Structure 1
């Protein structure tokens, strides 16, 4: 098989697997009211399932990345996808809040490790100038999960119960697992340098600033996105069935965004990054106003998806390029940073609700955090211009069939 063919196969498999893992993470957002009602908890308590998932990824991902640094990438991908399948089946079978929480934590641990390994495999398949596009391919899988997986899962959950949504996740994960087993060749990789050596990467200002950008920017997005379903129902006046359609529009925006990110050359990321983040921040700050109009709400949801998923691959690729031999560990920590944001977002949204401000103010409050992220991204650009990034993190493909 030619090198080009191997690259295409790997990209497809990683995108397919990311599609399954991404659907597993976000699908609960669309059925949050159904989960709350069925398990006898209120919506903010059900939202803690999102928080616990994010905390588990944030804490478990880097630890598991270090512990599995010497395992062959193909073997590790197979193991991670198998664990994700067990977790999604457990979610479908959970009959109370505690069991569902446990299954979600296991799924989160699988996800934290998956994206670190998938990022390494993706950049190993391409030359340095193509690394942004390679990471974007993985992110495309997450984008597709918002286009197809989440709306379909929401529709299924509303008509057949939220557990049926996790049956869908299980089926998608099983397909991804089969793809990894049958189609992923051996990948040569340099084992992660370990915690002590990896800490040197976190002494770089560019790495610390990049991680801060992730936390601040995406806290704002997730604050709004966690409660988007009830906001579209209660503020914009959409019927439950139409909420699924609006989530589909969000998904289309994420696919557009990740595609745009793949067109940004690696050496221009630091200069381009503040642009999509500024668009994201503006969209969040004005969400309270635009939710009053159904048309404006739909447009706003699309813009949020497109801007966020343009910024995400750019930050991730940038950080891996700055990390040198610790690229895998830094990739995992960036996923953790994203999930710190995912933990803070629902909590911040819950504070807005319990304070009496209401659903229309959630996006505006979250937008303040994203605007801070824009400021940090501008600093990233200046620091990078003064201190050029390290060269690419590409490692070669091993011999393959």
Structure 2
């Protein structure tokens, strides 16, 4: 049951992240700021997620996992309520930073709880379900949040997010098992361990693969409009298809056993590279373009949980949270690099159709790194945390 609770929690925190994108014009008008200024709320959010996750994970490394998870969801709930009540730009910014910190810490702690709550052979499934909340947020959370905001005002959207987060908090309090607190680890030892070659390779796959993916996805609407010739309505249909693809990829990732990830990862990353390389061929034909967008989402959300699970399997229980948080931060950095890469392709005049092939270079490099991981695979340590006698009693 806890895996489904974590799915609800991740859906709530992911919706809190994504939903502002569809509400920027309303927020800017109500708070008396420009749309670019309102857009800085998104930038600030991502900076906190990237930087705050590892820092918060280190600072809370000695706290009980169940209580820490509940605390992050409480912070997510309070921050969403504060966002709904904000009457000025500084108030909304402060509330958004609280939501960002909650999300950053949640992903690290929830990954630990997910892996500790199931047998070793189901750990990939557990982590995939956790990321499934983000996939659902792209399909349901963002569009529904935008519709609610347009109909009733953007504060009501954040009220809905607060209700979701509160439901997740209740689920954690009722269903989350008492997971053993990781053994004490010094800050220097924890941080130093991040520079092991195996971990650097895993972070490299995340950075290179997601940089290429985000480069293409950021400009998917111009691609579908200008190259494929789709109307705005059909672009929306394509984005729904993308969201369904992310769910399919997530489900497929959950079927890969942890001890098979290193063997499957090169093919998964390679599939993403092939889809990007094929963009100039796929985009001119509308049905194929829409199918290609769904495949893009499926490939990306196949890679992400596989890498996260593999990385957490390379360290002892005391370091899994930090490794998970750092990988999320690397993903955030990849997002910034990918958006810049896609923009650079357009700036030099190559056109939207060529973003995919250019972005594929980064993903092909990730495929090479993943192949290196497959060649050097070693037995994964058992990182399933077992409740201590005191906690179990």
Evaluate the alpha carbon distance shift between residue 169 and residue 10 of structure 1 in structure 2; reply closer, same or farther with a 3 A threshold. same
- Asked if 1:169 corresponds to 2:161, the answer is yes
Distance across 2 between alignment mates of 1:200 and 1:275: 31
Question: Secondary structure at the residue paired with 2:315?
Answer: helix
Distance across 2 between alignment mates of 1:85 and 1:297: 39
Task: Give the equivalent residue in structure 2 for 1:202.
Answer: 194
- Asked if 1:329 corresponds to 2:322, the answer is yes
Distance across 1 between alignment mates of 2:278 and 2:73: 39
Of 299, 321, 333, the match for 1:340: 333
Evaluate the alpha carbon distance shift between residue 383 and residue 88 of structure 1 in structure 2; reply closer, same or farther with a 3 A threshold. same
Distance across 1 between alignment mates of 2:41 and 2:184: 31
Task: Give the equivalent residue in structure 1 for 2:98.
Answer: 106
Distance across 2 between alignment mates of 1:305 and 1:131: 22
Shift of 1:83: 1.7
Evaluate the alpha carbon distance shift between residue 251 and residue 368 of structure 1 in structure 2; reply closer, same or farther with a 3 A threshold. same
Question: Secondary structure at the residue paired with 1:394?
Answer: coil
* Cα distance per residue 1:187-220 (max 9 Å; x no partner): 2222452321213432321111001110111112
Task: Give the equivalent residue in structure 2 for 1:313.
Answer: 305
Of 37, 57, 70, the match for 1:78: 70
Evaluate the alpha carbon distance shift between residue 227 and residue 94 of structure 1 in structure 2; reply closer, same or farther with a 3 A threshold. farther
Distance across 1 between alignment mates of 2:54 and 2:150: 36
Evaluate the alpha carbon distance shift between residue 48 and residue 214 of structure 1 in structure 2; reply closer, same or farther with a 3 A threshold. farther
Shift of 1:150: 2.5
Of 252, 272, 277, the match for 2:244: 252
Evaluate the alpha carbon distance shift between residue 362 and residue 316 of structure 1 in structure 2; reply closer, same or farther with a 3 A threshold. same
* Cα distance per residue 1:121-159 (max 9 Å; x no partner): 111112222211221121222222223223323444565
Evaluate the alpha carbon distance shift between residue 232 and residue 82 of structure 1 in structure 2; reply closer, same or farther with a 3 A threshold. farther
Distance across 1 between alignment mates of 2:373 and 2:74: 38
- Asked if 1:263 corresponds to 2:255, the answer is yes
Length, aligned pairs only: 388
The alignment's TM-score, normalised by the length of structure 2, stands at: 0.87
Distance across 1 between alignment mates of 2:40 and 2:222: 16
Of 131, 150, 160, the match for 2:123: 131
Evaluate the alpha carbon distance shift between residue 11 and residue 345 of structure 1 in structure 2; reply closer, same or farther with a 3 A threshold. same
Evaluate the alpha carbon distance shift between residue 22 and residue 152 of structure 1 in structure 2; reply closer, same or farther with a 3 A threshold. same
Shift of 1:98: 6.1
Distance across 1 between alignment mates of 2:281 and 2:90: 38
Distance across 1 between alignment mates of 2:363 and 2:26: 29
Distance across 2 between alignment mates of 1:235 and 1:158: 30
User: Where in structure 2 are there 5+ consecutive unaligned residues?
Assistant: none
- Asked if 1:371 corresponds to 2:364, the answer is yes
Shift of 1:227: 3.5
1:210-359 pair list within 5 angstroms: 210-324=202-316, 325-359=318-352
Distance across 1 between alignment mates of 2:91 and 2:353: 32
Task: Give the equivalent residue in structure 2 for 1:6.
Answer: none
* Cα distance per residue 1:269-324 (max 9 Å; x no partner): 11100112111122223335533333223212211111111111110111111112
Would the aligned equivalents of 1:30 and 1:229 in 2 still touch at CA under 8 Å?
no
Evaluate the alpha carbon distance shift between residue 350 and residue 272 of structure 1 in structure 2; reply closer, same or farther with a 3 A threshold. same
Q: Which shifted more, 9-18 or 275-284?
A: 275-284
Would the aligned equivalents of 1:91 and 1:163 in 2 still touch at CA under 8 Å?
yes
Evaluate the alpha carbon distance shift between residue 220 and residue 154 of structure 1 in structure 2; reply closer, same or farther with a 3 A threshold. farther
The alignment's TM-score, normalised by the length of structure 1, stands at: 0.85
- Asked if 1:23 corresponds to 2:33, the answer is no
Distance across 2 between alignment mates of 1:343 and 1:25: 15
* Cα distance per residue 1:162-206 (max 9 Å; x no partner): 555444433322221222233323222224523212134323211
